[in-house]
Structure 1
Amino acid sequence: MLEYQIAPDALQHKTILITGAGDGIGRVAALSYAAHGATVILLGKTVKKLEAVYDEIIALGGPQPAIVPLDLMGASEQHYQDMAETIAEQFGALDGLLHNAGLLGVLGPIEHTDLKSFQDVMQVNVTAQLMMTKALLPILRQAKHASVLFTSSGVGRQGRAYWGGYAISKFATEGLMQVLAHECEGSSVRVNSINPGPTRTAMRASAYPAENPATLLTAEQIMPTYLYLMSDQSIAENGNAFSAQ
């Protein structure tokens, strides 16, 4: 998939929401989608970072983005419902949803797992994604072809020692994707997951502090799979677990 190419205007007239859009893979996905014609909705908890991405998109001549400041840790079901209503009023439909935001939490053996840390990871990585998707499904169904993309991990497909709550949350993410994909089968909404693989991001550096980041692919280099799954080229894909590397 690293070699996949889509037309420069493949996402034109599409509206795509990206969570965790302020930096890392989310930022690059937002820039890439905008560069291919999409109007992107930038969601994150740090307004300054979202504004910086907004400015980058405008400077590159992309469609004017929208900003949604929201902290997934404390967001309520009403926050998601209000957000969905605002998007419906402004855009009418939602063509894509990239669940990119995630929390690493504390890595360590299960016997040392801290309840608060575990609950925080599950809140951001699973509960928030479930409730946000629930709220957005009605406007995703308004699109001719809509794509919901969950971010997985290698440790969410094969368990690994000391990855604790993060790995468990990513197994749950895969399960959420499969359940929703089955429910959406035969509809205009498709649901898949993507494992970005080892990528040069701040989260990766936190998990592997001794690793040389120069040995990793950049977020820009793994974008082909992200672009494919948001474009109409992937309308037949549903319930599949993709790897970007």
Structure 2
Amino acid sequence: MTDLDIPRLLAYRPEPGAFDERVILVTGAADGIGRAVAEACAAAGAIVVLLDKDLKGLEAVYDRIEQAGHPQPAIYPLNLEGATVKDYGDLAENIRDSLGRLDGLVLNAGWAGALMPMKNYDPELWFKVINSNLHGPFFLTQAVLPLLEASPTGSLVVSTQNARKAFWGAFGMAKAAQDGLIDILSHEHRNEPRFLHVNGIDTGPVRTRFRAGHYPGENPDLLPEPEAVVGPYLYFLDPGDRTTTGLNISLEGQVPVPHAAS
């Protein structure tokens, strides 16, 4: 956790031109928080690489960014569940060849599979969930680390979640491991010349398809929209901050809900 002022982080927006020419890769960019973060980065001037398994969703986000007059994004369809180490290496090579750099990575994609007791967990489902939420993010990060290290202000932001709860199984264990990824990488990259910002954001409940799929009885009007939580992502990706690293902040209970009074 951190003593950063959460309301100020939620309201944070970069200075005009701060993200110009920055290249930022966002996973899970077709919907929800990933979409909102990708669109906010593009609005701030970044070239955004949109990664998701949902090609139609990616195309819709691409069109929204382009129609808004922001820098032209790139689409990279990839399913973390079945991607290989070579697939991630190819992705890094494509970014290097086509864009020449990578300044930020947002690990946001997530898939929980099914909620069930550990004793009933299907081994095949276990491997799929672990691949999507642990192996995939790790090998993707490993593949693009040389690009992030080469950036004057490289940043890695992880969408974390406290899922160490009954019935969350492989997803809960993978999210706990992502917390460890933040700790390990932030310590390995604290010193120049390889300094890399590595931080996490647990947004708490947000109005997304992921949330609705696991809490079907919940009233979505009582949850904040994804756009309400982009401020901290922009702060951690902003090249003006050269020191903040190793934090994993929680926004739960602090994000305004527009419909709460109705």
Residue 219 of structure 2: aligned partner: 212
Residue 66 of structure 2: aligned partner: 58
Unaligned segments of structure 1, at least 5 residues: none
- Give, in whole Å, the separation in 1 of the partners of 2:62 and 2:13: 25
- Give, in whole Å, the separation in 1 of the partners of 2:11 and 2:237: 16
Residue 255 of structure 2: aligned partner: none
Residue 146 of structure 1: aligned partner: 154
Matched, 1:172 2:180: no
1:9-65 per-position Cα deviation (integer Å, ceiling 9, x unaligned): 321121000011111111111110000010000111122211111110011110010
- Residue 15 and residue 177 in structure 1: after superposition, are their counterparts in 2 closer, same or farther (change >3 A)? same
Matched, 1:227 2:234: yes
What is the letter of the counterpart of residue 89 of structure 1? D
1:64-89 per-position Cα deviation (integer Å, ceiling 9, x unaligned): 10111111111111111111111111
- Residue 116 and residue 86 in structure 1: after superposition, are their counterparts in 2 closer, same or farther (change >3 A)? same
RMSD over aligned CA atoms reads: 1.3
What is the letter of the counterpart of residue 215 of structure 2? Y
**Deviation of residue 154 (structure 1)?**
2.3
- Give, in whole Å, the separation in 2 of the partners of 1:44 and 1:18: 9
Residue 116 of structure 1: aligned partner: 124
Q: Secondary structure at the match of 1:98?
A: strand
Q: Secondary structure at the match of 1:6?
A: coil
Q: Secondary structure at the match of 1:192?
A: strand
- Give, in whole Å, the separation in 2 of the partners of 1:233 and 1:154: 29
Q: Match for 1:5 among 13, 26, 37?
A: 13
Unaligned segments of structure 2, at least 5 residues: 1-8, 253-262
Q: Match for 2:108 among 100, 120, 123?
A: 100
**Deviation of residue 243 (structure 1)?**
2.2
Q: Secondary structure at the match of 2:30?
A: coil
- TM-score, with length taken from structure 2: 0.89
1:130-150 per-position Cα deviation (integer Å, ceiling 9, x unaligned): 111111011111111000111
- TM-score, with length taken from structure 1: 0.95
Matches within 5 A, 1:226-245: 226-245=233-252
Q: Match for 1:203 among 207, 210, 231?
A: 210
Residue 81 of structure 1: aligned partner: 89
Residue 33 of structure 1: aligned partner: 41
Q: Percent same amino acid among aligned pairs?
A: 40
- Give, in whole Å, the separation in 2 of the partners of 1:236 and 1:131: 25
- Give, in whole Å, the separation in 1 of the partners of 2:155 and 2:24: 9
Q: Say if 1:15 and 1:96, in contact at 8 Å, map to a contact too.
A: yes
1:92-140 per-position Cα deviation (integer Å, ceiling 9, x unaligned): 2100000111111111222222212221111010100111111101111
Residue 42 of structure 1: aligned partner: 50
- Residue 234 and residue 118 in structure 1: after superposition, are their counterparts in 2 closer, same or farther (change >3 A)? farther
What is the letter of the counterpart of residue 166 of structure 2? A
- Give, in whole Å, the separation in 2 of the partners of 1:79 and 1:89: 15
Q: Secondary structure at the match of 1:232?
A: coil
- Give, in whole Å, the separation in 1 of the partners of 2:246 and 2:19: 22
Which structure 1 residue ranges, 4+ long, deviate > 2 Å from structure 2?
Answer: 3-6, 232-235
